[in-house]
Homo-oligomer: A and B are copies of this chain.
Amino acid sequence: MLISESALRTFTQNVFLAMGCSDEHAGLAADVLIQADLRGIDSHGVARLVGYVRLWEKKRINPNPNITIVHQTPTTATVDGDAGLGLVVAPFAMRLAIEKAEKYGSGWVSVRNSNHFGIAGYHSLMAVEKNMIGFAMTNASPLVAPTFSNERLLGTNPICYAFPAGNYPPVVVDMATSAAANGKLEIAQRSGKQVPEGWIQDANGDITTDPHALKKGGSLLPLGGNKEHGSHKGFGLSATVDILSAVLSGANYGPWVPPFVAFLEPPNDPVGLGIGHFVGAMRVDGFRPLDEFKANMDNWIARFKSASTVDPNQKVIIPGEPELEAEADRKKNGIPIVDAVWNDLKGLAVKFDSPLTP
């Protein structure tokens, strides 16, 4: 099933409007989701729309949040998202970081009382448009066990760094800090395939390749997979995301992060408010003239693109390249939607009496 960007955008916007979001918030939230679909990150696009709706139905998402700055210095702030959509709370925080960076060189905002913010890359790229370096990260529902543990204590806690370049497109490092993102697991589940060793463990902490192990009490593994291969580093990165996003802002951290799925209740002993994000922006020309930086970035990219390769048919991929290729294709040819997601969207179309055509 292929659907045009504009049709999917209008539908998504209408769903957020039907939830009671303002025009501005509905447009922004839809834009974050559609960008994910355009960029080929299907797990974080409209596939999640029904999830946001279900959380709203459970009154765990506030469609009209009063987003406030609760603490700040010239270059730092904590924002309270008032239980709003992360899709609008995170852009608010990034706009604040950019304003601070415009005045003082850099800006850093920790966010509490938010919800799932979509793809980290969307928020980082807001800074890149202003010739800044963008940072974005978020904690998430606990699915990942620390090294040596069989307990789910961390989310897939993504981290994103985005850098403007000159003639080349921006370099965008946007990655889960687990060995594999949950979306990859879902693909294996649908296709009935086993997953590689090092992605997941069973409830006892034994190695497994069963993509359904998570549902049987298993857990995802941090980037690295096991200690010998550096999983303590993946754990350390994930911990960093959790601390900057939640311990610093006063959100829930570790196993207290409320689940994204509406059928699981949040812990009844919260240690903070909602989930947490952390975003930042640094002006490139706070360090060196912008044209010099961009020229060096282009040279950096060119050198890595021309690296000698193991397989002559597989070039080195610059972080951010696959997303741009997907975007070019999908803007032209439409966005592919798998059947399960299409059925969810059709359900929303009925629920909100909102037309949806491929």
Residues of A at the B interface (CB closer than 8 Å) are: 71-78, 104-106, 108, 110, 133, 145-151, 153, 161, 163, 171, 173, 175-177, 179-180, 196, 198-199, 201, 204-206, 223-225, 228-230, 232-237, 239-240, 242-244, 247-250, 253-255, 271-272, 282-284, 286-288, 292-293, 296-297, 299-300, 303-304, 307-311, 314-317, 319
Q: How far is the CB of A86 from chain B (nearest CB, A)?
A: 18
CA distance A204 to B312 in the complex (A): 12
Inter-chain contact A232/B287, CB cutoff 8 Å: no
Inter-chain contact A288/B106, CB cutoff 8 Å: no
Of B161, B163, B224, B311, the residue contacting A148 (CB under 8 A) is: B311
CA distance A235 to B235 in the complex (A): 17
- Count chain B CB atoms within 10 A of each CB in A75, A77, A283 and give the residue with the most: A75
Inter-chain contact B71/A307, CB cutoff 8 Å: no
Between A and B, 8 residue pairs with Cβ closer than 8 Å are: A76-B283, A147-B316, A148-B311, A148-B314, A223-B230, A224-B224, A248-B287, A253-B296
A78 contact set on B, CB distance < 8 A = 287-288
A180 contact set on B, CB distance < 8 A = 230
A310 and B204 in contact, given A254-B300, A271-B299, A293-B247 (Cβ under 8 angstroms): yes
CA distance A236 to B255 in the complex (A): 27
Closest partner residue, chain B, to A272 (CB atom): B296
Closest partner residue, chain B, to A162 (CB atom): B240
Closest partner residue, chain B, to A73 (CB atom): B105
Inter-chain contact A196/B300, CB cutoff 8 Å: no
Closest 5 CB pairs of A and B: A205-B310, A73-B105, A76-B286, A173-B236, A76-B105
A248 and B303 in contact, given A105-B74, A106-B76, A224-B223 (Cβ under 8 angstroms): no
Inter-chain contact A248/B293, CB cutoff 8 Å: yes
A235 contact set on B, CB distance < 8 A = 319
CA distance A292 to B273 in the complex (A): 14
A247 contact set on B, CB distance < 8 A = 163, 293, 296-297, 300
CA distance A3 to B347 in the complex (A): 72
Closest partner residue, chain B, to A103 (CB atom): B74
Inter-chain contact B319/A239, CB cutoff 8 Å: yes
Closest partner residue, chain B, to A311 (CB atom): B148
A248 contact set on B, CB distance < 8 A = 133, 284, 287-288, 293
Q: How far is the CB of A73 from chain B (nearest CB, A)?
A: 3
Q: How far is the CB of A149 from chain B (nearest CB, A)?
A: 4
Of B73, B146, B311, the residue contacting A307 (CB under 8 A) is: B146
Q: How far is the CB of A300 from chain B (nearest CB, A)?
A: 6
- Count chain B CB atoms within 10 A of each CB in A176, A199, A236 and give the residue with the most: A236
Inter-chain contact A232/B317, CB cutoff 8 Å: yes
Inter-chain contact A153/B240, CB cutoff 8 Å: no
CA distance A311 to B205 in the complex (A): 9
A153 and B303 in contact, given A74-B105, A105-B76, A284-B248 (Cβ under 8 angstroms): yes
CA distance A309 to B153 in the complex (A): 12
Closest partner residue, chain B, to A224 (CB atom): B223
CA distance A180 to B145 in the complex (A): 21
CA distance A16 to B230 in the complex (A): 34
Inter-chain contact A303/B229, CB cutoff 8 Å: no
